[in-house]
Amino acid sequence: MTWLITGGAGYIGAHVVRAMTAAGEAAVVYDDLSTGIAARVPDGVPLVPGSTLDRERVTRVLTEHGITGVVHLAAKKQVGESVEQPLRYYRENVEGLRVLLDAVTEAGVGTFVFSSSAAVYGMPDVDLVTEETPCVPLSPYGETKLAGEWLVRAAGRAAGLSTACLRYFNVAGAAAPGLADVGVFNLVPMVFERLTLNVPPRVFGDDYPTPDGTCVRDYIHVVDLAEAHVAAARALRSSPGRALTLNIGRGEGVSVREMIDRINAVTGHDLSPEVVPRRPGDPARVVASADRAAAELGWKARHDVQDMITSAWQGWVRLHPEAERH
C-alpha cells in the first residue's frame, strides 16, 4: 500500500511518517507547510505542498501516487485560537476533511485513519475515560474533531471505507532532537520556556479535587502515538470494513505539579512553580482507558514520562542553546 499522510511535515505527522516507513510502508506527505517543516520529511518520501481544501490538488496527488490509504493529521489545533477564530477552525478542520473524504471515496481509496483528540470529551467526570464516555467538547477545536469523527464514520459506512478515529491524549517527547515540537502550547514546552527565562513555571490553579490540587493528565510519547497509527493502518488493511474509535494514551495520570518536579529534575533546575488562577474550562482529571486499543490493535505505549521529558528537552536545547546556561 501507499499511504498519503496529510500534515506529515508537522510535529506528530513527521513521527507518523517515520514510523510508517520504518515498518516498510510507502508514504507520501501532503502538507500546506503553514506550521509544518519540510526538512522533517525523510529523504525518499515525496512531499507535495497543498491544502486539503484544494480538491483538484488532492485528487491529483491521490491519482499520481496511487494512494491506497490515508492518514489524516492536517488540522488547526490550538484550543484558545479556536475560540477566537471558530469559523477558520470549522473551515480548515471540517470542510477540509469533507473535501478530502469526497476525493478519497471517489478515487476508491479503501482505508482512512483520522487524527482526533481527547478534546472531544470536554470535562469528563470519571477516573478513566473510555470510548463510551459522553463527548461534550468545550472549544470549537474539540467540536471540529468530534464533527470530523462523525464525517469519517458516515463516509465509511456509505462508501465501504475502513476507518479508524484515534483520540490522542497529551502528546510529548521526540524520536530525535530535530523532530521535537517547536510550538509552545502544551505543558512541557511551556515549562521549558519559563525555565529558559529563569522564571518560575506556572500552575493554573492548585485547588482541584486531585491529590495535590493540580490538574491530572495522561501523557503519551509521540513515538508510541506514531506506532499506534501503524498498528491502526495494518488492522484496517487486514480486516476491511472495520470502523474503530480508540483512545491513544497510557492510562496513567500525572499531575501538573508532578510534571514540573520531574522536568526540574531532568533539566537540572530547581524553580518552584508559581500558582496563578485557573484557566476556564480546564477539567480536573482526564486519563485514558487504553484497553480497547490494546485489544483491537495489540498496541500498548512503551515509553514513560521520563523518556518524554528527556527527549523533549534535548529538542528544546537544540532550538534554544541558551537553555543550558541556567
Known catalytic residues? 141
Contact 4, 30 (CB under 8 A): yes
Contact 173, 311 (CB under 8 A): yes
Q: How far apart are CA 7 and CA 40, in angstroms?
A: 11
Pairing type for strands 253-255 and 216-221 reads antiparallel
Contact 287, 253 (CB under 8 A): yes
Q: How many CB atoms lie within 10 A of CB 12?
A: 20
- Would you give the DSSP letter of residue 197? T
Contact 43, 69 (CB under 8 A): no
Q: How far apart are CA 256 and CA 276, in angstroms?
A: 13
Contact 255, 326 (CB under 8 A): no
Tell how far CA 27 is from the center of its chain: 19
Q: How far apart are CA 3 and CA 249, in angstroms?
A: 24
The C-alpha cell that represents 144 in the structure block:
471540529
The C-alpha cell that represents 92 in the structure block:
480548515
268: left (phi over 0), alpha (psi -120 to 50) or beta: left
Cα torsion 278, 281, 284, 286: sign: negative
Q: How far apart are CA 124 and CA 306, in angstroms?
A: 27
